[in-house]
Structure 1
């Protein structure tokens, strides 16, 4: 299975970075991420999370407790993002309306086209997922 890559111009990449910075400011100022969330957070690497888990296991063991874990990895998560659900979440977490509208516009009426050697497919609508590759 192949995942399409979105090719963006330099100005689009800059615009995307500005929106990301504004979203992260909103997320941090409103404590939207749980303390345990390490994905998509500056300064919170998988190494840090592994250290946290190791320390918890070690602490529990020294106190005579056992530790269990449930790990979840959602396959093809970016391919299956429901656009209307994403917009509803942004509204629920009180993101500024201009950010909600920009993202809604960005995801609306998207198409994909497969190019192989000298051939191109017809354009097809993209109804779920978010662009990757910028």
Structure 2
């Protein structure tokens, strides 16, 4: 799915997470470059950071499925994802302790939810 998103240019150019060859260092360089460009043009520069750690918990999966269909994902893939996130509880269990359902391999797809 990631290769489909990459091939079809669905990710924003400012999406650095979950992308091959990009890192937090690349994000930092991009950010600093934008600041310098704005300063050189005498523009006001504002920074805003957003914590998306709860995005999986609050995303409407119906809207996400519609977005995936809109971007051309095959029906079988969309149905598989809908089945995976609907009416299921998934967690990691180790030494008698269970994790919460924070994050998953689906996290990269929540960026196209916008």
* TM-score, length basis structure 2: 0.68
| Two-structure CA RMSD over aligned residues (Å) | 2.7
Ranges of 4+ aligned residues in structure 1 off by more than 4 Å: none
Contact 1:38 1:45 in 2 (8 A): yes
Q: Partners of 1:131 and 1:60 in 2: how far apart?
A: 35
* TM-score, length basis structure 1: 0.59
More contact order relative to length (CA 8 Å, sep ≥ 6): 1
Would you say 1:52 and 2:24 are equivalent positions? no
Contact 2:16 2:23 in 1 (8 A): yes
Q: State the number of aligned residues.
A: 99
For structure 2, the 5+ residue unaligned runs are 106-114
Q: Which has the larger radius of gyration?
A: 1
For structure 1, the 5+ residue unaligned runs are 1-22, 119-128
Choose from 104, 107, 110 the match for 1:132.
104
